[in-house]
């Protein structure tokens, strides 16, 4: 089954060329199927790149996915054309007012991780999003800063500044092989990391209801399950394209920012070489497992999403 996207959204053509099955909303409406509704609250500056990355992963399952793009209400994007935002995004205020519900919601990272959470300009609205998920979303995935922000809001889990950016591809251990979210995972997983802050395992251990599923000795927890809030926190970037770390590195080098070569990414750590993608299969496994778990546990009647399961 396909992911449903507007035919003029850039991701429609990009994913079609990659062999991902996509379908227009008009075509999807002719099928007598209850699609899985997945929202993407996109906090990243490069909106289109981020749309493509997450649509690629959630669209690779056997289920029909109704993919909805959401933005913060009063925060204007400076890196994506206004007509793109107007054509394809709704504000959270509009979604909240409509009363609609979602089977899943992805909350992306944002380039604000050095700021205290409360100093982020849209923090008040974002905390409203977090609370809204408890009655209107069956399962939420917070990615990188988005996951750190959710964990801070619900558990007071602190983020700690790093002396140097954690940047590169790092080995992570499968700590919960029986978890439905890690079906098919290897014992060791290579995961792209790009952040200036970290969550520490002792803080996770001290927070009731949190369980680390993937973790690294070098970069700490990667995938944390929050059972009470029906959430997963992914502090790293399995969704990244093959060249995303390269683009970040080249950008910083071009403007003279101090930045280390991303570790374990280029052959021989040589940035003149072409990087290879060694995490793609686990990215598809994680998001496919998440979608499957949603499908197995969500209500058929979407009006009941947020109610306790019998």
Tell me, letter by letter, the H, E, C secondary structure of 241-296.
CCCHHHHHHHHHHHCCCCCCCCECCCHHHCCCCCCCCCCHHHHHHHHHHHHHHHHH
pTM above 0.75, yes or no: yes
Residue 10's pLDDT band (boundaries 50, 70, 90)?
confident
Contacts of 20 (CB under 8 A, 6+ apart): 2, 3, 55, 56, 59, 60
pLDDT tens digits, 182-198 = 999 999 999 999 999 99
| Per-residue confidence (pLDDT) for residue 205, from 0 to 100 | 97
| Per-residue confidence (pLDDT) for residue 28, from 0 to 100 | 57
Tell me which long-range contacts 8-17 makes (C-beta under 8 A, separation of at least 24): 8/87, 9/51, 9/88, 10/48, 10/51, 10/52, 11/48, 11/51, 11/52, 11/55, 11/56, 14/52, 15/52, 15/55, 15/56, 15/59
Contacts of 115 (CB under 8 A, 6+ apart): none
Orientation of helix 47-58 relative to helix 10-18, angle to 10°: 40
| Per-residue confidence (pLDDT) for residue 260, from 0 to 100 | 93
Sign for the pseudo-dihedral over CA of 302, 305, 307, 310: positive
Active site annotation includes 169: no
| Per-residue confidence (pLDDT) for residue 224, from 0 to 100 | 98
CATH topology of domain 3-161+197-240+281-304: Rossmann fold (3.40.50)
Q: Is the pLDDT of residue 77 over 90?
A: no
The catalytically annotated residue of 229, 239, 282, 293 is 239
| Per-residue confidence (pLDDT) for residue 32, from 0 to 100 | 57
pLDDT tens digits, 223-241 = 999 999 999 999 999 999 9
Q: Is the pLDDT of residue 152 over 80?
A: yes
The catalytically annotated residue of 138, 155, 229, 237 is 237
Q: Is the pLDDT of residue 111 over 90?
A: yes
Average pLDDT over residues 293-307: 92
Active site annotation includes 239: yes
Listed by start position, the domains of the chain span: 3-161+197-240+281-304
The catalytically annotated residue of 144, 155, 169, 229 is 144
Write the DSSP assignment of 123-186 as a string of letters: HHHHHHHHHHHHHHEEEEEEETHHHHHHHHHHH----EEEEEEEEEEEEEEES-TTSGGGTT--
| Per-residue confidence (pLDDT) for residue 31, from 0 to 100 | 58
More confident residue, 3 or 293: 293
Active site annotation includes 155: no
Orientation of helix 123-136 relative to helix 145-155, angle to 10°: 80
Q: Is the pLDDT of residue 66 over 90?
A: yes
Average pLDDT over residues 143-147: 98
Alpha-carbon gap, residue 111 to 252, rounded angstroms:
14
């Amino acid at each position: 089954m396909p992911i449903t996207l507007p035919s003029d959204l850039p991701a429609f053509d990009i994913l079609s060329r990659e062999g991902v099955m996509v379908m227009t909303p008009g075509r999807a409406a002719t099928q007598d199927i209850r699609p899985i509704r997945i929202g993407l609250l996109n906090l990243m500056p490069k909106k289109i790149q981020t749309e493509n990355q997450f649509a690629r992963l959630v669209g690779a399952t056997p289920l029909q996915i109704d993919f909805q793009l959401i933005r913060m209400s009063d925060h204007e994007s400076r890196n994506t054309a206004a007509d793109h935002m107007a054509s394809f995004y709704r504000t959270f205020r509009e979604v909240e007012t409509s009363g609609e519900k979602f089977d899943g919601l992805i909350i992306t990272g944002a380039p604000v991780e050095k700021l205290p959470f409360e100093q982020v300009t849209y923090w008040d609205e974002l905390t409203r999003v977090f609370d809204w998920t408890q009655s209107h979303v069956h399962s939420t995935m917070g990615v990188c800063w988005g996951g750190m922000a959710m964990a801070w809001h619900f558990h007071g889990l602190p983020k700690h500044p790093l002396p140097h950016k954690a940047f590169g591809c790092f080995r992570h251990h499968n700590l919960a092989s029986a978890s439905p979210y890690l079906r098919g995972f290897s014992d060791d997983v290579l995961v792209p990391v790009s952040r200036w802050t970290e969550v520490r395992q002792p803080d996770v251990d001290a927070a009731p209801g949190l369980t680390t599923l993937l973790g690294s000795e070098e970069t700490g927890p990667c995938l944390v399950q929050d059972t009470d809030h029906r959430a997963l926190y992914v502090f790293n970037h399995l969704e990244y394209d093959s060249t995303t770390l390269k683009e970040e590195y080249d950008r910083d080098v071009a403007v003279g920012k101090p930045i280390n070569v991303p570790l374990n990414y280029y052959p021989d750590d040589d940035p003149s070489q072409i990087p290879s993608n060694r995490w793609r299969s686990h990215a598809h496994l994680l998001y496919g497992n998440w979608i499957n778990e949603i499908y197995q546990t969500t209500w058929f009647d979407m009006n009941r999403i947020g109610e306790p399961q019998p």
